[in-house]
Structure 1
Amino acid sequence: MTKHLGFLLNIFAIGLFIPGITLPIFSLVMEANAHVGGTQITTEVINKELSLLGTINELWTKDRLLVAIALFIFSVAIPAIKAILVCAAYFITNTQLAKKILNVISAIGKWSMADVFVIAVFLAVLSTNHAETMNHQQFNLFSFQIKLAMSSETLSNVGNGFYYFFAYCILSLLASQLSQYAINKAK
């Protein structure tokens, strides 16, 4: 029964993984404002919603290869390999081979926790909600005194992809633990 539950949770985890990497994981909006006298001029500098795959692609195209590769390996490749191996262990009838596969998954699982760390650090860097800078300048132009206030505001939000990816991480970990428990119990 535990083996079946582990497999079922793995299937649900895969179902969460796909939107977790394709839906926006965060949004970032940056606006710049200028106040001259009583007039305000606002312009949007950045307005992005990126998924995990979109973020990897953008990092790759901007020649931030090491970060793109690390994010891909820890957040896409290792979780996909882990899910495939849990499915393979479920269908293998040879208990010893299934146990070896699950031991590999256990080793990979330690590395796949790096994906959670990478995403957490990435989102922490972007969590600059309402970070506003303000600069006041005063100058004279043709004997008129002009007051200029310039500001920028950055807003970031976690997208739905983050919640799917987080749920995937939890279910995937639970699925591999249940699968390993079932194989160890079947000795």
Structure 2
Amino acid sequence: MLSVIIALGLLLPGVTQPVLTLEGKIDKSKLAQTGINMLADEGNHNTRNMLSMASSMLGLDKLEGEVSAYKKTRSIWGTVNELAKNNNYLVAVLIGLFSIVIPTLKLLMQLLHCFLPVSRFKQVLGQVIQGLSKWSMVDVFVIALIVAYLAGNADGQMGELINVDAELGVGFWYFTGYCLFAVAASHLISVEEK
């Protein structure tokens, strides 16, 4: 019962807190060079040379540091909402189903299972829980899918000019804790059944 309660307690922040933050930064000197390249006509070397000379005189070729150009932080719930807003309803429903609805139902059924006296209903409920537990790796897949979605989304918007850094958020660790305690609770119920 304690494993189920802890898993439930970890699931809520695991779904609502940020799972991943992606930040894209542009090197200032590369940005200045890209601006020159965009302004200069590819066929006209004189324009490019003049812009390069003006850039050098202004010290734009010696710029140091980076400028933040892109920053996106998402939770599992935020990703479901963003996918739905972008008309990716099937993916939004699948992520919502396998990372929010099924885990919550499974944990609530496990909690009920702990309080029921030995009966045929408790045995059937245990079998249903074991059936749902076979899908527990889908939780991990959901996190991987969100990471891939955000990284792919960022990469598609960035090009070669921007350096992308990814950082796992606190939601990732809560969700990982939920997964571990949920697996432990399922294992304890299967041991109890035998």
Tell me what 2:169 maps to. Answer: 159
* 1:112 pairs with one of 136, 151, 154: 136
Q: Which amino acid aligns with 1:25?
A: V
Counterpart code for 1:18: L
5+ residue gaps, structure 2, are: 34-54
* Residue 67 of structure 1: aligned partner: 91
Q: How far did 1:23 drift? A: 0.8
Q: Return the letter of the residue paired with 1:29.
A: E
Which of 56, 68, 87 lines up with 2:80 in the alignment? 56
Q: Deviations over 1:63-84 (max 9, x none)?
A: 1111111110110011001001
Calculate the TM-score normalised by the size of structure 1.
0.76
- 1:114 Cα deviation after fit: 1.0
SS in 1 for 2:164: strand
Counterpart residue type for residue 95 of structure 2: L
CA offset at residue 127 of structure 1? 6.0
User: For 1:24, which of 11, 18, 21 is the aligned residue?
Assistant: 18
Which structure would you say has the larger Rg? 2
- Whether the 8 Å CA contact 2:76–2:146 is kept in 1: the answer is no
Q: Which has the higher helix share?
A: 2
Percent pairwise identity: 32
TM-score (structure 2 length as normaliser): 0.74
Among 100, 114, 121, the alignment partner of 1:76 is 100
Residue 97 of structure 1 corresponds to which residue in structure 2? 121
The answer to which of 89-98 and 16-25 deviates more is: 89-98
Q: CA RMSD in A?
A: 2.3
Q: How many residues align?
A: 160
